[in-house]
Copies of this chain bind each other. A is one copy, B any other.
């Protein structure tokens, strides 16, 4: 017989495990230790302590992106939750679900407004931080009333899964042992996305298939929120069924197999390879899935798709040829669309392969010797990739360079070009490694990070080693913040970082040494020949231990996409200035 009640800590951990989550990230603190004690009663879950809370949030974000469920993050109130804030905000901006549990002082201590550590004058309100996080979450619960705790936990977790946005659960120490009805746990949370109106969904699908039937040069632009909201497989099915020319974006790269003949490339407004923006802007039907229309995901706002040619399937709005459906989530719509087309593809003239010749990316560099250049690097790294690899590209030149590469099938790509917090990928890589292990990914995990960004969050390299992971780490060493040099003050000292770090000693310092039994390999490449030698090395490719490859480039060498986007921005600013005059 099951016990009729369970302690709250066990309850919340069990609910989290029920989502398929297997690891919880974060940092222990005085006010979450007893909650952590109960994680050991839930064998489905494993605690994974990160070096600090910001990195913990980044790791949770990276985990969610690969695992496809929200991640769980645990911090302590005040110091911990505030340290994690920027990482949680990034998850809010880029829709990576995160359940952030915060351990707080007990209800009686809070009531007495004790001047206990992590509090602040003048109000001595221990819950003051709850208000601070409001803009970076979908919803929260502050567990103070025994009667509603179970339902509040369920509500908040459910909203977190559905929205793929951060949610917070604030847990005073004394409520960890409050007894909740165990019977509730027998019913899994209903986290399925449902729109309010089935007839609206049907209308969107009906008008979309009509447009599909009539379109002469239809294309698919599959963007990142499709992935975040669980629509990647449906997207792939749609591409497969229709054979329409398909494009990814800087944020969604890898969403479809880039080796397919219908893959047209990465669409980023006019900051795209030749032919790409013409194909999209000239199409009479753009099926745009899960758009996130930020500056660097639209080539500096140079996306130019007319409403009458657009089927926009977003997470909070859909539109068909200019007709808007507010509050409709694309996922059920996309599901029905695929089902409808699948029933009888020929009815809609499907499959309908593109008529124009396949768009292929230009070869940007034919360098075989000498100094390593941006133009050479990214397509070369693309060739290094293998099917099923997980690739992380850090904010900066990596993020603007990696779109040049062609990915092998089933590459997962993590980049944060909307929120753009430097240092993100070093933490996110830990989460990706954990998730890759959980899903038994046969691929490698490959981190590409600039040396300035690496300095932000470097300690988590130690966590890779601590937990036995074997990523391949490429460090772009180009003497400072090159992306900032491109933006302003190329020679200003504020764009410098320490150039004294010896990356060749990094893995050793963090734990890969003969006496620890942790194997590693480190390389430094200043020339194309050196780079070819490393990348072509079978042992390196196999990645059977943690590896680092430092790539030295010139500080004033910028990826072409970065330069073009800045040219667009500067031209706009100049035009605005001349209007003012």
Nearest chain B CB to A131's CB is how many angstroms away?
Answer: 7
Q: Looking at the complex, which one of B33, B457, B510, B511 makes contact with A488 (CB distance below 8 Å)?
A: B33
A108 touching B576 in the complex, CB below 8 Å, given contacts A89-B82, A455-B52, A458-B458: yes
Give the interface size class of chain A: 35 or more
Q: Contact between B120 and A497 (Cβ–Cβ < 8 Å)?
A: no
A420 interfacial by beta-carbon distance below 8 Å: yes
11 further A-B pairs in the complex, CB-CB below 8 A; given A82-B85, A85-B132: A37-B489, A47-B493, A54-B83, A93-B121, A115-B295, A117-B418, A118-B421, A132-B133, A462-B500, A502-B508, A509-B509
Residues of B within 8 A of A419 (CB): 78-79, 117-118
Q: Contact between B513 and A420 (Cβ–Cβ < 8 Å)?
A: no
A417 interfacial by beta-carbon distance below 8 Å: yes
Bound together, the chains give a CA A117 to CA B456 distance in angstroms of: 19
Q: Looking at the complex, which one of B33, B51, B422, B501 makes contact with A462 (CB distance below 8 Å)?
A: B501
Q: Mark A510-528, 1 if CB is under 8 A from B, else 0.
A: 1101001010000000000
Q: Mark A172-190, 1 if CB is under 8 A from B, else 0.
A: 0000000000000000000
Nearest chain B CB to A487's CB is how many angstroms away?
Answer: 6
Bound together, the chains give a CA A420 to CA B495 distance in angstroms of: 32
From A106, which residue of chain B is reached at the shortest CB distance?
A: B573
Q: Contact between A136 and B117 (Cβ–Cβ < 8 Å)?
A: no
Bound together, the chains give a CA A132 to CA B120 distance in angstroms of: 15
A-B contact pairs, 18 of them (CB 8 A): A28-B494, A28-B495, A30-B488, A33-B484, A36-B489, A51-B455, A51-B456, A79-B422, A83-B85, A92-B120, A93-B119, A115-B418, A117-B417, A120-B135, A122-B316, A501-B510, A506-B509, A509-B509
Q: Contact between A459 and B463 (Cβ–Cβ < 8 Å)?
A: no
Nearest chain B CB to A117's CB is how many angstroms away?
Answer: 4
Bound together, the chains give a CA A131 to CA B132 distance in angstroms of: 7
A541 interfacial by beta-carbon distance below 8 Å: no
Q: Contact between B505 and A296 (Cβ–Cβ < 8 Å)?
A: no
Bound together, the chains give a CA A129 to CA B134 distance in angstroms of: 10
Nearest chain B CB to A165's CB is how many angstroms away?
Answer: 9
Q: Mark A15-38, 1 if CB is under 8 A from B, else 0.
A: 000000000000011100110110
A510 touching B518 in the complex, CB below 8 Å, given contacts A85-B85, A117-B417: no
Nearest chain B CB to A95's CB is how many angstroms away?
Answer: 9
**Copies of chain A in the complex:** 2
A114 interfacial by beta-carbon distance below 8 Å: yes
A500 touching B511 in the complex, CB below 8 Å, given contacts A33-B489, A82-B85: yes
Q: Contact between B509 and A501 (Cβ–Cβ < 8 Å)?
A: yes
Residues of B within 8 A of A420 (CB): 79, 117-118
A423 interfacial by beta-carbon distance below 8 Å: yes
Residues of B within 8 A of A37 (CB): 488-489, 492
Interface centre among A118, A463, A500 (most CB of B within 10 A): A500
Residues of B within 8 A of A502 (CB): 508-509, 511, 513
Residues of B within 8 A of A493 (CB): 47
